[in-house]
Chains A and B, each alone.
Chain A
């Protein structure tokens, strides 16, 4: 059974600084997804990582995938308030997605 672990589960960030969220998973998979969720809202797809070494960037967010280490990272550059949300990684397993518990990000001025 696939297990997906995110850490940290809560991250208080200062504006302008850099941070990284980690997503580890327990079973081989070549596909990993990152989602963002604002409070009381649905989930929005951020990145789709489909192979080992995949790197995707959008604005201040950059995601990467190392399938050999079973690890994905979501790097935040120069945090701004608009990035405050909950971020989920999800790993594909048997045509289904298994989600991590989520990382709550809060950006302080």
Chain B
């Protein structure tokens, strides 16, 4: 039982390149989230999906797009990476009104 799986775990990009972070969960949760973590700022919500077929912006959505491919998978795309997007990205899932379960994180560096 893997829980929440993120790929890749590490990535280095040049400014302007694009990439997609993948997240898959086998917990049968409806809700999925993408957060970014920066030193001293906690976790900030980028996008979330309350159910298959729906997505909504969080606190810091600019520069990102998401796709809820099916109930299990929720991807985060950077169309034109910028150094300000250097961060650790976490995918999370939950049942409504319950705690989040997090993936291991994806560490992205944009040069």
Q: Which residues of A contact B (CB under 8 A)?
A: 4, 9, 31, 33, 41-43, 45, 48, 50, 88, 90, 92, 95-102
Which residues 70-90 in B have Cβ within 8 Å of A in the complex? 90
Q: Which residue of A43, A50, A101 contacts B41 across the interface (Cβ within 8 Å)?
A: A101
A9 to B100, CA, bound (A): 22
Known: A88-B43, A101-B41. 17 other contacts (CB 8 A): A33-B100, A41-B105, A43-B90, A45-B99, A45-B100, A45-B101, A88-B42, A90-B43, A92-B97, A95-B50, A96-B58, A97-B33, A97-B45, A97-B100, A98-B45, A100-B42, A102-B40
Q: Contact at A33–B99, with CB atoms within 8 Å?
A: yes
Q: Contact at A99–B105, with CB atoms within 8 Å?
A: no
| Chain A interface, >50% SS class | strand
Q: Do A42 and B103 contact each other (CB < 8 Å), given the known contacts A95-B31, A95-B50? A: yes
Per-position binary interface string of chain B over residues 43-74, scored 1 when its CB falls under 8 Å from any chain A CB and 0 otherwise: 11100101000000011000000000000000
Q: Contact at B104–A102, with CB atoms within 8 Å?
A: no
Smallest beta-carbon distance B86→chain A, Å: 16
Smallest beta-carbon distance A63→chain B, Å: 12
Q: Do A101 and B40 contact each other (CB < 8 Å), given the known contacts A33-B99, A45-B100, A96-B58? A: yes
Contacts of B33 in A (CB 8 A): 96-97
Smallest beta-carbon distance A89→chain B, Å: 9
A14 to B98, CA, bound (A): 34
A29 to B102, CA, bound (A): 22
Q: Do A101 and B42 contact each other (CB < 8 Å), given the known contacts A42-B103, A42-B105, A96-B58? A: yes
19 contacts between A and B (CB under 8 A): A9-B40, A33-B99, A42-B103, A42-B104, A42-B105, A43-B90, A45-B99, A48-B98, A48-B99, A50-B97, A92-B97, A95-B50, A95-B96, A96-B33, A97-B100, A99-B35, A99-B44, A100-B42, A101-B40
Q: Contact at B42–A31, with CB atoms within 8 Å?
A: no
